Amino acid sequence: EVQLVESGGGLVQPGRSLKLSCAASGFTFSSFAMAWVRQAPKKGLEWVATITSGGSNTYYPDSVKGRFTISRDNAKSTLYLQMDSLRSEDTATYYCARRDTTVSHYFDYWGQGVMVTVSS
């Protein structure tokens, strides 16, 4: 059974940093691209970052580019999101998601999410 379990969320002050983790199990982690998707309170879904299976390529939307860094440790089957220079608008539930292996790029499994609150 595929499982994605996020951790590392919490309350952080504006301008500070936080690192999220996502522990994967039930599949060959190193064979899949992975992503982070967030959801602000009462809002819709927003893609935050993607990393290819080997970790050599990463992609971000303009809203987080230069502030967030996605990485992975295939030996530990763990995905990370380093979030720097946090802003109040980064307050959201952050989901770890597995991306499919085809060219159509959808997210077939999601974690339960971890809440990040940016506030002074």
Q: For another protein, which residue of 29, 50, 94, 118 counts as binding (CB under 8 A)?
A: 50
CB of 41 to another protein, least distance (A): 12
Per-residue interface string for the shown chain with another protein, residues 89-108, x marking contact by CB under 8 A: ------x----x-x-xxxxx
Regarding 109 and contact with another protein (CB under 8 A), the answer is yes
Q: Say how many residues touch another protein, by CB under 8 A.
A: 22
114 forms beta bridges with: 94
Regarding 45 and contact with another protein (CB under 8 A), the answer is yes
d(CA 66, CA 25): 30
Regarding 68 and contact with another protein (CB under 8 A), the answer is no
Beta strand segments in the chain, E: 3-7, 10-12, 18-25, 34-39, 45-51, 58-59, 68-73, 78-83, 92-99, 107-110, 114-118
**Piece in contact with another protein (CB under 8 A), picked from 17-25, 43-51, 67-75, 84-92:** 43-51
Query: Which of 6, 18, 3, 10 is closest to 115 using CA atoms?
Result: 10
99 forms beta bridges with: 107
**Which positions lie near another protein, rule CB under 8 A?**
35, 37, 44-47, 50, 59, 61, 95, 100, 102, 104-113
